[in-house]
């Protein structure tokens, strides 16, 4: 697996859209300060493929994928594996309740030649090729088939994260063996063993099926074939005999059929002739028509008389005059009497209203005079009030005067000071003014009330006068209408005569309607009687037409009963003559049928001798019997051939069972797979040991014994030490040697998609001394220089980063981390 491009948005520290393009980065370093997000780039690669990250502690750490306060995280990885290019996408969202779930996951096989640099950075879900997996559940198997490694082995051999760099070194032998099985594709031998076992079972099933078929193929010996040949010969003789006898049988049956046909024709004629019978009541049909016609004529005469009486009464009613005019004159007399009485009442009302209106006007005039006097008195009170104010002002000046003093108004000396009144003139004038104002207001109120009463009476008087004028006009109109009119008694007698004539006219109209109904009824009776007569003649004509081939006599069309009598008599005579011929024809039929039965019995005996059912068609039955005998013989020969073929197939199936069981038995013990694993482990340890000697300046070598790894310390007399006893720096060197050996040695031996096309190291280069670090850098340079591996390093050691041509610098600010490519 070789990463090509990584896109992130909202993923942990990468809140903003971030792209890392690995397209031509065969040897690169991820650099940056501690905590900037270097390892997060490797986390994103693992998350896009497997949905997990080693540092999260399994699937439950999914919430770690979201950037702080973000609700969605998207990761897309474009990678190559086994010569094919894929794109893996995962989307994580937080719902309204705070739960974080995988919203989308998919793996697509990209078309050949697709330019990765043209991908947008928006992580859009546009189709990028054939969909290999479309759900999170489908992703696990699809990624395993594409990459060739499960999650645990991917993080031990391809992307080696912090804290798990030494997993392969410290893994148990069984775990390490399974990793090598996946890397080398050795599971194919287990598949071969399973398929060999399955093929053996299939061959045994086919063998059992052939045995069952052979058990069912009985009766296919030479004796059975000879018997089949003999039966074919017998059926051929039967067919020949039947072919010769069938024409004789056909001729006999034809003669019998002709005789039977002649007898049947005679019986049909007898049936027709004896079936001729006159219908019931044929004699009454004509009489019913005559009676119905007479009744119809009488009904028509009654209608004419009733119509003449109705017309006469209508003329008398017209001559009696206009009934509406008479009623209008009587109503005018009644209206004049009523209005005359009402007019007297209205005139009395007008007189009373006139008197009341005159009294009200006199009272209004008196009230207005009282109001004018009160207003004069109010004006006098106002003038007295003004004078009182002047007097009180003069009195107020007197209080301070004494004889001989100058008057403050005229400035003349005062000889004698007038006495000061005890009461104030203004107070008395004010009281008199209030009394005068109250009297004035009361008088105005009286004026308003009497004025309103006078107006109301005047309105009533106007209305009464208008009503009187209307009644006088109506009475004058009625008097004009009644000029020249008769007296009311005469008018009432004329109306009574009108009523009598109208009742008589109604009775006459009723009689006309009844007569017309009766006439319609009698005409319907005539139509029904004539229909019955016509139907009787049609029945006669139908019966006579049915006898036309026998030549019936001529018909008298005046009397239907006579016609039916003549026809039935003739038919009876013709039937009696044919009964005399029937006995001779019956004898001829019996003789012909006996001859045909004799031929039929001969044919039946021939079929019985051949043990074949005769059926309805002897020729067809003989032909079918011959064809069946021949088909049975062919099937017998086919079964004989099938039995020979099945015996050959059985021998082949027995050989297949033996070969498949032998192959499955050889592979069941896993000897070959164990040998291959031992060889692979030897190569791996030899390669890692050489790398470790270079890294340790010849101090350490790596060996294995029964699957366990040991380090030989040449600086301590070749002491063998278990790998779990190594220090941190020593463990790093041994782990790095194994990781490089996995990439260098085993990739060439792998036959599956799990070829190690890249390796990314994220572990403790800072623990190495300068010399060891130089050795590690040179080793990585040599590995990358071969051009068939991508080598990546996550480090914050400047000395190592400076020696790597392509560097991806990771920086982080308060909002988001970002990646910038430096170097070549």
Alpha-carbon distance 512 to 266, whole Å? 65
- Angle, CA of 240, 238 and 615, to the nearest 5°: 110
Residue 282 CA neighbour count, 13 Å, CB half: 17
How is residue 8 written in tokens? 């992130």
Alpha-carbon distance 564 to 236, whole Å? 68
pLDDT in tens, 587-630: 888 887 788 778 777 777 777 777 778 777 777 877 887 788 88
Q: Where does the pLDDT of residue 806 fall: very low under 50, low under 70, confident under 90, or very high at 90 and above?
A: very high
pLDDT in tens, 44-74: 999 999 998 887 876 667 888 898 888 999 9
Radius of gyration of the chain (CA): 71
Task: Give backbone dihedrals phi and psi of 823, rounded to 5 degrees, phi first.
Answer: 80, -160
Mean pLDDT (whole number) for 92-109: 90
Burial class (CB in 10 A: 0-12, 13-18, 19+), 794: buried
Among the residue ranges 380-384, 404-408, 517-521, the one predicted with the least confidence is: 404-408
Mean pLDDT (whole number) for 731-758: 66
Alpha-carbon distance 427 to 4, whole Å? 121
Using alpha carbons, select from 27, 210, 249 the residue that is nearest to residue 645. Answer: 210
Distance of CA 36 to the CA centre of its chain: 53
pLDDT at 457: 79
Mean pLDDT (whole number) for 288-305: 82
Task: Tell me what percent of the residues of the chain surpass a pLDDT of 70.
Answer: 88
Alpha-carbon distance 271 to 291, whole Å? 38
Task: Tell me what percent of the residues of the chain surpass a pLDDT of 90.
Answer: 11
How is residue 306 written in tokens? 């009733």
Q: Where does the pLDDT of residue 184 fall: very low under 50, low under 70, confident under 90, or very high at 90 and above?
A: low
pLDDT at 367: 81
Q: Where does the pLDDT of residue 126 fall: very low under 50, low under 70, confident under 90, or very high at 90 and above?
A: low
Alpha-carbon distance 283 to 405, whole Å? 170
> What Å distances lie between residue 561 and 294, 300, 498, 542, 567, CA to CA?
22, 31, 61, 15, 10
Higher pLDDT, 299 or 472: 299
Mean pLDDT (whole number) for 301-313: 82
Alpha-carbon distance 377 to 393, whole Å? 24
Partners of 704 in the beta sheet? Answer: 709
Does the structure show a pLDDT above 70 at 728? no
- CB of 630 within 8 A of CB of 232? yes
pLDDT at 808: 93
Q: Where does the pLDDT of residue 470 fall: very low under 50, low under 70, confident under 90, or very high at 90 and above?
A: confident
- Among all chains, which residue has been given the structure tokens 């030899």? 686
In the chain, the largest separation of any two C-alpha atoms, in whole Å, equals 201
How is residue 302 written in tokens? 């009654």
How much is the pTM? 0.43
Mean pLDDT (whole number) for 668-693: 78
pLDDT in tens, 562-587: 787 887 888 888 788 877 777 777 88
Residues whose CB is less than 8 angstroms from the CB of residue 791 and which lie 6 or more positions away in sequence, other chains included? 26, 27, 28, 743, 758, 759, 760, 780, 783, 784
pLDDT in tens, 362-371: 888 888 888 8
pLDDT in tens, 444-453: 888 888 888 8
pLDDT at 185: 58
pLDDT at 187: 65
Q: Where does the pLDDT of residue 743 fall: very low under 50, low under 70, confident under 90, or very high at 90 and above?
A: low
Does the structure show a pLDDT above 70 at 463? yes
Among the residue ranges 74-78, 111-115, 332-336, 521-525, the one predicted with the least confidence is: 332-336
Q: CA torsion 83→20→183→191, rounded to 10°?
A: -60
Q: State the average pLDDT for the chain.
A: 80
Task: Give backbone dihedrals phi and psi of 72, rounded to 5 degrees, phi first.
Answer: -150, 140
Among the residue ranges 25-29, 185-189, 204-208, 216-220, the one predicted with the least confidence is: 185-189
- CB of 563 within 8 A of CB of 556? yes
Helix axes 618-668, 222-274, angle to 10 degrees: 140
- Angle, CA of 449, 455 and 459, to the nearest 5°: 145
Using alpha carbons, select from 434, 210, 472 the residue that is nearest to residue 350. Answer: 472
pLDDT at 138: 93
pLDDT at 753: 43
Does the structure show a pLDDT above 60 at 788? yes
Burial class (CB in 10 A: 0-12, 13-18, 19+), 74: buried
pLDDT in tens, 537-549: 788 778 888 778 7
Does the structure show a pLDDT above 90 at 326? no
pLDDT in tens, 222-254: 777 787 788 788 778 777 877 777 777 777 778
Mean pLDDT (whole number) for 311-328: 73
Higher pLDDT, 486 or 54: 54
Alpha-carbon distance 350 to 466, whole Å? 10
Neighbour tally for 443: CB within 10 Å = 20
Does the structure show a pLDDT above 70 at 750? no
Does the structure show a pLDDT above 50 at 751? no
Alpha-carbon distance 192 to 198, whole Å? 10
């Amino acid at each position: 697996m070789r990463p090509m491009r990584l896109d992130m948005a909202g993923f942990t520290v990468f809140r903003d859209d971030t792209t890392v393009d690995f397209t031509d980065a065969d040897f690169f370093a991820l650099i940056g300060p501690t905590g900037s997000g270097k390892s997060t780039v490797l986390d994103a690669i693992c998350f896009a493929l497997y949905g997990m990250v080693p540092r999260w502690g399994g699937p439950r750490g999914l919430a770690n994928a979201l950037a702080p306060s973000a609700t969605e995280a998207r990761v897309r990885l474009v990678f190559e594996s086994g010569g094919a290019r894929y794109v893996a996408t995962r989307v994580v969202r937080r719902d309204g309740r705070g739960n974080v779930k995988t919203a989308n996951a998919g793996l697509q096989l990209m078309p050949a030649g697709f330019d990765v640099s043209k991908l947008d950075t928006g992580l859009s879900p546009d189709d990028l090729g054939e969909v290999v997996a479309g759900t999170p559940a489908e992703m696990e198997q699809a990624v395993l088939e594409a990459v060739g490694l499960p999650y645990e082995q991917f993080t031990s051999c391809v992307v080696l994260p912090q804290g798990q760099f030494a997993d392969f070194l410290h893994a148990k032998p069984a775990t390490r063996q399974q990793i090598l099985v996946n890397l080398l594709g050795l599971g194919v031998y287990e598949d071969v063993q399973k398929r060999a076992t399955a093929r053996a079972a299939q061959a045994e099933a086919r063998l059992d099926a052939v045995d069952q078929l052979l058990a069912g193929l009985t009766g296919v010996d030479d004796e059975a074939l000879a018997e089949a040949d003999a039966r074919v010969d017998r059926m051929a003789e039967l067919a020949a005999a039947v072919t010769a006898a069938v024409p004789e049988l056909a001729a006999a049956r034809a003669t019998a059929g002709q005789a039977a046909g002649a007898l049947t024709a005679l019986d049909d004629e007898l049936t027709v002739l004896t079936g001729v019978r006159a219908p019931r009541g044929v004699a009454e049909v004509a009489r019913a028509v005559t009676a119905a016609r007479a009744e119809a004529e009488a009904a028509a005469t009654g209608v004419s008389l009733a119509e003449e009486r109705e017309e006469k009464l209508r003329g008398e009613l017209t001559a009696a005059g206009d009934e509406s005019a008479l009623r209008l004159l009587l109503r005018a007399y009644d209206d004049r009497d009523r209005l005359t009485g009402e007019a007297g009442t209205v005139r009395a009302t007008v007189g009373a209203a006139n008197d009341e209106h005159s009294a009200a006007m006199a009272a209004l005039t008196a009230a207005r005079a009282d109001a004018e006097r009160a207003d004069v008195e109010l004006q006098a009170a106002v003038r007295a009030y003004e004078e009182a104010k002047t007097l009180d002002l003069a009195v107020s000046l007197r209080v301070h005067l004494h004889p001989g003093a100058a008057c403050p108004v005229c400035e003349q000396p005062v000889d004698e000071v007038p006495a000061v009144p005890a009461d104030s003139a203004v107070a008395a004038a004010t009281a008199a003014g209030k009394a005068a104002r109250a009297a004035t207001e009361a008088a105005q109120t009286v004026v308003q009330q009497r004025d309103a009463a006078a107006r109301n009476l005047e309105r009533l008087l106007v209305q009464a006068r208008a009503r009187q004028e209307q009644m006088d006009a109506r009475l004058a109109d009625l008097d004009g209408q009644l000029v020249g009119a008769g007296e009311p008694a005469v008018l009432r007698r004329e109306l009574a005569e009108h009523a009598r004539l109208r009742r008589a006219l109604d009775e006459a109209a009723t009689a006309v309607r009844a007569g017309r109904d009766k006439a319609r009824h009698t005409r319907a009776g005539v139509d029904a009687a004539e229909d019955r007569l016509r139907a009787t003649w049609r029945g006669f004509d139908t019966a006579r037409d049915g006898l036309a081939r026998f030549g019936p006599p001529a018909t008298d069309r005046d009397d239907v009963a006579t016609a039916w009598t003549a026809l039935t008599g003739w038919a009876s005579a013709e039937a009696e003559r044919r009964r005399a011929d029937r006995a001779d024809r019956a004898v001829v039929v019996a003789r012909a049928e006996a001859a045909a039965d004799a031929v039929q019995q001969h044919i039946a005996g021939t079929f019985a001798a051949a043990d074949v059912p005769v059926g309805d068609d002897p020729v067809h039955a003989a032909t079918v019997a011959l064809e069946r005998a021949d088909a049975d013989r062919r099937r017998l020969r086919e079964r004989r051939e099938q039995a020979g073929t099945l015996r050959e197939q059985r021998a082949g199936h027995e050989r297949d069972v033996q070969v498949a069981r032998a192959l499955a038995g050889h592979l069941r013990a896993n000897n070959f797979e164990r040998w291959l694993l031992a060889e692979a482990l030897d190569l791996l340890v030899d390669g890692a040991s050489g790398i470790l000697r270079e890294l340790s300046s010849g101090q350490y070598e790596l060996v294995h014994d029964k699957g366990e790894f040991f380090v030989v310390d040449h600086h301590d007399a070749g002491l063998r030490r278990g790998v779990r006893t190594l220090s941190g720096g020593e463990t790093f060197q041994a782990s790095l040697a194994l990781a490089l050996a996995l990439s260098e040695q085993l990739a060439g031996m792998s036959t599956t998609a799990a070829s190690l096309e890249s390796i990314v190291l994220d572990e403790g280069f800072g623990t190495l001394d300068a010399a060891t670090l130089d050795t590690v850098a040179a080793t990585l340079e040599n590995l990358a220089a071969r051009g068939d591996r991508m080598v990546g390093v996550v480090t914050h050691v400047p000395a190592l980063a400076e020696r790597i041509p392509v560097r991806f610098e990771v920086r982080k600010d308060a909002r988001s981390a970002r990646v910038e490519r430096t170097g070549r």
